[in-house]
Amino acid sequence: MLFSPTNISECVREWDDLEKGYQQMQDTHRLYKQKLEEVTKLQNSCSAAIARQRKKLKELALSLKACKEDQESRLSPKEKDSIAEIEESIKDKTNAFFEMEAFLPKKNGLYLSLVLGNINVTLLNKQAKFAYKDEYEKFKLVLTVILFVFSFMCRFLFSYRVLDALFNFLLVWYYCTLTIRESILISNGSRIKGWWVFHHYVSTFLSGVMLTWPDGALYQMFRNQFLSYNLYQSFVQFLQYYYQSGCLYRLRALGERHNMDLTVEGFQSWMWRGLSFLLPFLFFGHFWQLYNSITLFKMFQLPECKEWQVLMCGCSYMVLFMGNLYTTLRVVYQKYMNNQDKSKLL
């Protein structure tokens, strides 16, 4: 219950208490700013030290390589062991630098600089990083369900170009948001690399082109196939989320995966268990992308085809098909070879 002064003396006493509290607050804030300046200096010092260490390690690695090539026949077994040990330590230190930099401010990449400017997006404690990562995963799950329902409604219940445009706009917004959030996660130590990052840029472009495709005979010709594909894709992403999140949970508990690793589209090396369950769904989706591309290329050859969107969508689906298929096959092959090597050792 709040204190309500009833006379002048109580008001004066309340004012004195407020003044004391205000002075304490000022002292606390002054200390906070002082510590913040100290933290900033430490951050700059750490960043500079890591840069110097990385440069020297790179020079040392080149020197060791040159020594091995020029003096390989003259090196004693002890010297060769020393070189191998140093090279292994250099790799370990490189990984350690990556872990350290995840907690230090860094310049944004080109994409984040264009979107957000020079604002610092590095989260400086583990709790904030994990909270942002978990919020990203929930965002993907909720939007996957929404896109599934939306595509089902457009495919089977309503056939209005306005609703189709809203669906495509939602896809553009979703993939754009994913690219921004993933760039922020990469700045905070998530190891999202290679094709699965580029995949969302291509998907953003494809959704934007579909959004601009005017209504007409060719659009209606491809509409149901496009909506059916998106319905299936949302279903597969829903399966992937629950399967991958379960795998990641087990591997993190065993200490075999990084805590900032994410569930992403496609097959990953750590998803080997349950392979026979998930891979058929993935491959079917990949070849559906090929089917979409072939359909659009055939439509582009029709005499009545005047829309540039037909060719652009066909090329986008072909890029998605080739990238997804190659990446999935490469990961499966690498994991298979690793298992074969482990079997030989046993």
What tokens does 190 get?
């998530």
Residue 270: the pLDDT is 44
Helices (runs of H) and strands (runs of E) counted in the chain: 9, 0
**Cα–Cα distance for residue pair 119/112, rounded to 1 Å:** 9
Residue 14: the pLDDT is 83
Neighbours of 32 (CB within 10 A): 10
**Cα–Cα distance for residue pair 62/141, rounded to 1 Å:** 46
Check: CB of residue 327 under 8 Å from CB of residue 194.
yes
> What is the pTM (predicted TM-score) of this model?
0.77
pLDDT-flagged residues of the chain (< 50): 1, 256-257, 267, 269-270, 272
Using CB atoms within 10 A of its CB, is residue 289 exposed (0-12), middle (13-18) or buried (19+)? buried
**Cα–Cα distance for residue pair 273/68, rounded to 1 Å:** 41
| Distances 66 to 61, 79, 88, 104, 299 between C-alpha atoms, Å | 9, 14, 17, 34, 57
Residue 120: the pLDDT is 80
**Cα–Cα distance for residue pair 50/225, rounded to 1 Å:** 52
**Cα–Cα distance for residue pair 142/137, rounded to 1 Å:** 9
Angle 324-329-332 from CA coordinates, rounded to 5° = 125
Residue 344: the pLDDT is 60
Single-letter code of the amino acid located at 103: F
189-204 pLDDT, tens digit each: 777 767 888 899 999 9
The half-sphere exposure of 141 on its side-chain side, counting CA atoms within 13 A, is 15
Size of the chain, expressed as the number of residues it contains? 346
Residue 5: the pLDDT is 61
